[in-house]
Amino acid sequence: MKKKHLPLLLASMAAMSNQGANAQDSTVVMGEVRISAERAAGPLLSNRVLTSVDLLGADKVEDKNVMNSWELVGQLPGVQLTETRMGAESGKATFRAFNGEGYINGIKVLIDGIPSNVNSGNQRFIDMIFPLEIDYIEVVRGTNDPRYGLHNIGGNINFGTRQGGNYTNSRLTLGSYDTREVQFAVGREEGNLAQNYFIASQQSDEYRGSGSEKYSIGGKWFVTSADKAVKAGLVVRAYKHDAGEPGFLTAAELASDRRQWPAKNGNDRSERDMRHASVHLDWQITPDAFFSNRIYYNSYDDDRRVTFTSNPAGSAPRQRRIWDERQVGYLGNLTWRASELVTLDGGINAEQQDNRYRRMRFSYAMPTDFGAPVLVQNDDTYSLDNVGAYLQAIIRPSASLKIVPGWRADKFSGDSTLMAGGSARLQDYGWIRQPKLSMVYSPATDISVYANWGRTFQVLTGSGAPAYVAPGQATFDASINTGKELGVKFKPAPRTEMRLAVWRQDATGEVANMPATGTTVGLGETRRQGVDLQVSGQVNDRLDVWASHSLQKAEVLKAFTAAGTSLAGKEVFSTPRHISTAGVEYRASSSLRFGLQGRGQGSYFIDSPNEQGKFGGFVLFDASLRYRLSERASIDVQVKNLANRRYEYAWYDNFFWPGAQAQPMFSSGPGRSAFLSLNYSL
């Protein structure tokens, strides 16, 4: 437990315990979250300002066996996991009917509040952190959060890692597919100095035998002044991942052997290195004014060799893609509690990216020889500069009502030097203005009604056109998303919590943009809408249950194919119509605990015209057992995909299989697997 923090031990999806919190809070919490109570000083907590927030506590994270930490977010309601499982290019977590294909990267990712998306918006920096290092995961849904701009289209995910405290925790895991994992976390806090260290390694043959080997190391050092008014700190992390890519399978290959690693992919690999460093400075200027500063550096180096098909015609399906990205940024935030009725919160951000992208094509071979390219398609150097600012007011006209108006504006600039010669400038979007409004009304202690409205934006990414335009080329406006939500959180029965919300998000000029392939497809006007239902309860002192069901739809309102066919009324590809979770936890004694969790999603269209059928639906169950051997030691047994269901990720390959040969391609999900972990703490 963290030192000098008031722990809030919250059962799954439990509400804050006092009436004031109920009046101003629509947050759903799963597990034990080590956060401070509402304070008269310090930074504002997201769940005390925003209206559609989920928190996943450390105890729901640290004992999970996952190949990648983005999988942990799948425990939360309405979250779609896109499991590509191609080496280091493993997948991502999305919600609010944004899919994980990489074309429309609509979810902002942060680690300890630091922006952690790569240039395209993909979520690769998540891989740097492991479960034992995570203190909580916070998901903010919708368009009403003014704190972030770039990639914050449908909401954001913040991974909070451990800071301060006194602990020594270790976890050793052995499991299916020759999986071996070690995690080691240390925290030391004495006087004004707090130190945290983390190291982890993971090796696995993986389900299809392609192999994966990853390492992560990190440290935090924070110093607090004698009067506790100033805190300064340094955070560093390094990560390395080498993995084989087993390749996508045709329907015939999947039916023949879903675990195969075809010969055509024998030389396919991912080699990824990532680094992070950040300097933090917090200053409690007065009892009512708090100033926060963050300066950060992120680097991302990726070398991916991939063969998409065994079709010998042309070099397009055999590629090597090399990314070198550098981000330097600043975040500043000032919170002023002007009175009991009004709190003002504002901030500025600046980020400068220096990036390089190289893409090479190779001759047909079995397996592909990535020695000498027959064509260098990209060797581009490009920059992206972003400045933004926001202001919001938290107005409490009464104990039962909270109103939060907000405003944000962002501006972008940059240049690209292209391999073919010459340069191009980033699309000039001007200042992108984003008004916001939220409110929560609590007519009684056990009920909160909330609503929000806001605008977010999408801008093009990548190294060439149309993100960067030479003189005479077409220009694009930013795609503006306008979202609205209405919800209620209440207690239908003692020791039971429920939240129900309806939402809609409309976009102008949405673009499906894939920088890795240079593919940009205009989707035009789109609409995403849905209903989210979450419920949990304590049946008795030993048994907890929870469930969620999200209905959603993403459709095109106005757009045309290249052939001129209207896409109006068609569903946005790779977006399931429903996502569900359920779980039960039984504490047989103080030493023994059983758990069963399930998640499922509907099938989805894999092409824009919705002509190729639906794929990708599944229902999966995981079982777990924890037995405490002593005060310091425990063992975990986890069985994933308990029923050994067959499921797979699917996409439509009309890029590398031309014309009538275009077909669905698949990445098979793991079958039943078992893991045994030993936890030891000092």
In a domain, 276, yes or no: yes
DSSP summary character for residue 661 = G
Task: Give the count of alpha carbons within 13 A of 644, CB side only.
Answer: 2
Q: What is the CATH number of the domain that holds 355?
A: 2.40.170.20
Predicted TM-score of the model (pTM): 0.94
How distant, in Å, are the alpha carbons of 8, 30, 174, 198 from that of 167? 19, 23, 23, 12
For 19-86, strand residue ranges (E) read 28-30, 53-57, 80-82
For residue 510 the two structure tokens come to 């949405």
In a domain, 9, yes or no: no
In angstroms, the CA 663 to CA 653 distance is 6
In a domain, 13, yes or no: no
Amino acid at 123: Q
Instruction: Print the domain residue range for 361.
Output: 19-681
In a domain, 169, yes or no: yes
In a domain, 7, yes or no: no
pLDDT score recorded for residue 6: 30
Q: Residue holding tokens 């290959």? A: 253
In a domain, 3, yes or no: no
DSSP summary character for residue 13 = T
Count of the separate structural domains present in the chain:
1
Mean pLDDT per block of 10 residues along the chain (682 residues) reads 34 32 61 54 75 88 94 95 95 95 92 96 96 96 96 97 96 98 97 97 97 98 97 98 97 97 96 98 97 98 94 87 98 96 97 97 93 93 97 95 97 91 90 97 92 96 87 83 96 90 96 79 89 93 95 91 81 96 96 97 95 96 97 98 97 86 95 98 93
Count of Cβ atoms closer than 10 Å to residue 370 Cβ: 19
Residue 550, sorted as left (phi over 0), alpha (psi -120 to 50) or beta, turns out to be beta
Instruction: Let me know the angle formed at the C-alpha of 490 by 487 and 493, rounded to the nearest 5 degrees.
Output: 145
In a domain, 120, yes or no: yes
In a domain, 4, yes or no: no
pLDDT score recorded for residue 618: 97
pLDDT score recorded for residue 40: 56
In angstroms, the CA 501 to CA 453 distance is 13
Residues 6+ apart with CB under 8 A from 279: 232, 233, 234, 294, 295, 296
In angstroms, the CA 581 to CA 620 distance is 10
For residue 266 the two structure tokens come to 């024998």
